[in-house]
Amino acid sequence: MRLIPILTALLSAQPLLTHAASIPPSSDLERREPRREKKKQKGMPKYFHEPGGSDLGNHYDSRFEHGIQDYADKKITQLLMLRAYLTFFHDNHIETWLAHGTLLGWWWNGKMLPWDWDIDTQVSGSTLAYLGQHWNFTKYEYISDDDPPVRKTYLLDVNPASVERERGNGLNIIDARWIDIANGLYIDITGLSETHPDDQPGVWSCKNYHRYHTTDLYPMRETLYEGVPAKVPYAYDRILTQEYHEKALVLTEYEGHRWDPITKEWMKKSDDELAQEKKEKEAAKKEKQEKEKAEKDRKKDEDRKKKEEEDKKKNQEEQKKKDEDLRKKVEAERQEKLAKQQQQTEPKEDEKTSEVQKSEGSPSPPLVEEKSSEGHGNEKLRDQGDGTAATAQRLKRRFQILGLEQESSGLQHLRRR
């Protein structure tokens, strides 16, 4: 079952490959500068090639490019090419519509933006397949309505990789081109398909990640663009705002052009105006740089002052902490000294107390019995007197030890006795 889509894609691509021989492949033509070799990537190789070398060089097909056109010639070439493209699709009842910068030009005045080298259109995936099967490599002879008329030949070239509706390797995001074979300028044609109808029904996308809802596109609005019938998406305003933002819908000066509200035309500025604008831009740029430098210096100065304040505050806090630590240290040393003094004093007090206790508790010297003939009464009186004197002596000694200068009344009483 998986082979059916592959076979279908190959069959649809057969007309593209069959007619390819009538147009020289872009890789066989001489280019302005040699292309750098790139690493091989999976998927189909790049089909459309541009000479490159500059932004303008990227808007020419290498097979038909013969040099970059000037502003006036480019404007005429694009105008005729666009009119021929819209006329061909309208006459053959093939649906196509304006996209991207081309749609923005229509929004302003129904014409191309004069500075835009891109002309972009879109078709549905089914229309793209139809073009590949029935109209690929069609050469369209166009005769303008100008006086005198201009005869031009254009080529519709459908990319064989258009059968792949996913981005793939990114080398073939352009599905088809409408090419002026006289100079190589072209219109890019991209297809929109519902690539994920199961997960995202009603979401149409191209290979360059532009996505739209069905209600953004349909029903198409019929209009005129550069004087010929054309179509634009239904929600063109929302599409333009999402892609270019609102600024693109109101900005009246852009890319060396100024919008003239009276003629409703984008007018190219003169060389003097451009030179003056350049001078003003340079002056404005210089002023901006000076302001930025001044602001930078101011901020730098503020940061320096702030750092100085922070450092000062930090130093103060550190000094305060040092002072507090020193105070605590001094206090601790003082307390330690007092403790040592107290420890040294306590033993002396203990010694004094011990001596007092020793003196108080020491027994009186033993009485010696006198073998005198006076008898027992005299011996008793002597013994009593000796005891009183000894007691008084002990108390006196105790007061001396304790450092007392005044004697108690009791001691004096004992002395009188």
The top-scoring range by mean pLDDT among 69-73, 83-87, 163-167, 403-407 is: 83-87
Please state whether beta strands 138-143 and 151-158 pair in parallel, antiparallel, or not at all (unpaired): antiparallel
Q: Is the pLDDT of residue 127 over 60?
A: yes
Please state whether beta strands 186-192 and 176-180 pair in parallel, antiparallel, or not at all (unpaired): antiparallel
Structure tokens at 282: 């340079």
Residue 202's CB is within 10 A of a number of other CB atoms, namely 12
Q: Is the pLDDT of residue 212 over 50?
A: yes
Lowest mean pLDDT across 52-61, 107-116, 325-334, 396-405: 396-405
How high is the pLDDT of residue 112? 95
pLDDT tens profile 366-395:
544 444 444 444 554 454 555 566 666 776
Task: Give yes or no for a contact between 114 and 259, defined as CB atoms under 8 angstroms apart.
Answer: no
Residue 357: band (very low, low, confident or very high) from pLDDT cuts 50, 70, 90: low
Task: Give yes or no for a contact between 175 and 186, defined as CB atoms under 8 angstroms apart.
Answer: no
How high is the pLDDT of residue 7? 43
How high is the pLDDT of residue 6? 41
Q: Rounded to 10 degrees, what is the CA torsion of 327, 332, 338, 339?
A: 170
CA–CA distance, 17 with 157 (Å, rounded to integer): 11
Q: pTM of this prediction?
A: 0.62
pLDDT tens profile 19-60:
444 444 333 333 333 444 445 567 899 999 998 767 677 889
Report helix, strand or coil for 101: helix
φ and ψ at residue 321, rounded to 5 degrees: -65, -40
Report helix, strand or coil for 223: strand
Residue 156's CB is within 10 A of a number of other CB atoms, namely 21
